Every structure is written in C-alpha cells, then in structure tokens.
Amino acid sequence: MDLRYGTNPHQAATVTPVQPGRWPVRVLNGTPSAINLLDALNGWQLVSEAARTLGRPAAASFKHVSPAGAAMAGPVDEVTSGLYGLDRVGAVTSAYVRARDADPKSSYGDLAAVSHPVDTELADLLSRVVCDGVIAPGYEPGTVATLAGKKNGRFLVLQADPAFTAPVLESREVFGLRFTEERDSVPLTTALDLSSSAAGDLLLGLIVLRYTQSNSVCYLRDGATLGIGAGQQSRVDCTRLAGAKADTWWLRRHPAVRGLDFRPGVRRQDRINWQIRYLEGGLTPDEDARLAAALATPAPEFAAGDRRAWLAARRGVAFVSDGALPFRDNVDHAHRHGVDHIAEPGGSARSAEVEDACREHGITLTRTGIRLFHH
C-alpha cells in the first residue's frame, strides 16, 4: 500500500503485510500517512486489549503514536456532555468523549480508536470535532458515508480485523540494522490483586502504558485517564507533566471555569484552549487581549486558595508507571494530585524509600514486576 507520505511529507513511504495477504486493517476512506497508521495500530491494540480485559467498550484518542487519553465506557459528566452537545450517550460514544476529555487540547486533530463498531451517534460526534480519522472493528450502515464527507473527503476511516493474530516476532530496520524481538504480550491481569477496588483503574493504566512512548506514567479515575505523561527522559518530569494535566481536568469542573461567558460563535476548541490558558495563568498581553475579546463578560477572579481547596477534595486517583520509580519524589508529587493507589514494576535501588513514601502518604502500592517500555 502506498502511503500519503512517511514520517514527514518529503518522505515517500509504502507498507506491506508481514504475512502476504494478511492485513490487520482495511482502508475504507482516505489515504493514511505513516504516523496515521502507527496511531491506528497502537490505538486499536490498546482499545481491543482494554475491552477484552475489562469487559466493556474502550476508546483512545491518539496523537504522535501515544494516547492523549483513554477510557472505558461509563458516565459522562455535565462538563463533558455540555462541551460536546450530548444528551443521553451510548456506550461507545461515552468511552470516546471520556478519552478525549482527558486532554482535549492535545486531542485536537487526533486519531480515534474504539473497540466496538461505530454507530450513528459516534459518527455524528466525530463529524463535529477536529479529528483526523478513526479505527474500529466495524461501522453501522451509513456511518462511513457520514465520515467520508469530512475534510473534503480526506477523513481517514480504517476497519480493524478483530480476528487478526500478530506474529510472535516483530522487526524494524534503523540505519542499516534490523532489530527483531518477541512481541510484548505478557498477561497484565496477573500483575494485580483484582479484588482491589482500584484494580480496574490500575489495570487500564498498565494497558495504556503498554502502547505509550516511554518514559510514561498516567493518572486515572473511574475508568478514564486524567493525565498521561509520555516520552520524557526523566520519570519525575513525566509524573509532574501528567499531574498538571490531571489538575487541569479537575479544575475545568470548578464553577469559575464553567462560568466563563464566551461570546456566541466562539468555537468549541477555542473555548477549551481558553479555559486551559485561564487555569494555567501567565497570559501574554496578546493572550489577555484575545481572551477578553472572546468573552462577553470579564473572567472571574480565581484565587490560588480557591484552586487549592478544589484540588484538595479530589481523592481515589490511581497512578501507574511503565518503569520502576527510581526515587520517592515521584510518590510525593503523585500524592499532590489526589493519588491513593500506585502500581509500578519495583526493583529500583531505592525501592524501600518509594515504599516508605507510600506508607507516609497512605497510598496503597502494588509492585507488578513487569516493565512496559514502548519505543
């Protein structure tokens, strides 16, 4: 298959199946680039494993070969339903909007992955948000036509083959060398005490990080990611980055943020971006002027004390790391973001200090013994 282009537009690229004639996906509309296809393959593996393991529909929002968010089907709160103009939401749509809402700024122009067929409700939503494509195991009648009309006919629609079995060995070539290794298929259910109330979130976190560029960590609550930190050289930087995203998710529920009075005609994505910049603070003079122009009434004061009080009410957050926590600082930072449960491989030189930190903060610690690096 000829791709639209490789990693960059100046690179021509093709893709061929390892097993002649055995394709894991079919293109129903559009022409994928290399990154589109990598996002789709990673996304499909994540959602299909999550749905199979946890027993309900799963979705992910992928950007640059890592998930911006992932979630299982579940309740959609007023903030998310209001943002996307939803009333009663079906299972597959609920999974996707919960996944996209983890980091809606980063999900701009994502590739959506869902574990179950796309129905008319989800197709309608995808036609209204800035999304570049979708991969699913099937499509209800009429949904492909709805999606194919997006982006002047360039919207990417891919159908995954649920019966496809990946080869045991995977290879790639880099600068004249071919690397071959066993596919990472270690069972993750054996890594956790599944009787724990937090087991579902921790298990979802392990599955998410199996398909996230390392180093990586994620925060989760109620079957959805709140913040994912990916591709950082320092693990504590991942922890802080993902923690800041989790804080933003929580603060977007505060009445001060929900009360921002945008003028009619301000686009959904612009409202999202302005909410996040309002929370981050430190706006440039140009941003101050543009935010004022986007609002019908001035933004309310959102004092630091009000922020701290709102964040302090958050509990029950799970935290998962793809590699061993090397120092206790990861635990100390995770505690600041409402974490009560941590899963990590263990085995670092300072594992005893990590365990002591969890004990001090009242955090339950699970040592999985499984590293989940992904590159």
Is residue 215 among the annotated active site residues?
A: yes
| Calpha distance 32→19 (Å, rounded) | 20
| Calpha distance 131→63 (Å, rounded) | 10
Work out the angle between the directed axes of helices 268-280 and 285-294 (0-180°, nearest 10). 130
Alpha helices in the chain (DSSP H): 34-54, 78-84, 91-100, 120-128, 143-148, 199-210, 235-251, 255-258, 268-280, 285-294, 304-312, 329-336, 351-361
Nearest to 111 by CA among 157, 164, 152: 157
| Calpha distance 188→344 (Å, rounded) | 12
Token reading at 237: 């930087």
Is residue 64 among the annotated active site residues?
A: yes
Nearest to 219 by CA among 247, 180, 186, 253: 247
Catalytic residue (one of 29, 215, 333, 335)? 215
**Residue given tokens 């989940």 in the structure block:** 372
**41 contacts 17 by C-beta, under 8 angstroms:** no
**28 contacts 139 by C-beta, under 8 angstroms:** yes
Catalytic residue (one of 29, 63, 245, 341)? 63
| Calpha distance 343→324 (Å, rounded) | 9
* Catalytic residue annotation: 63-64, 215, 375
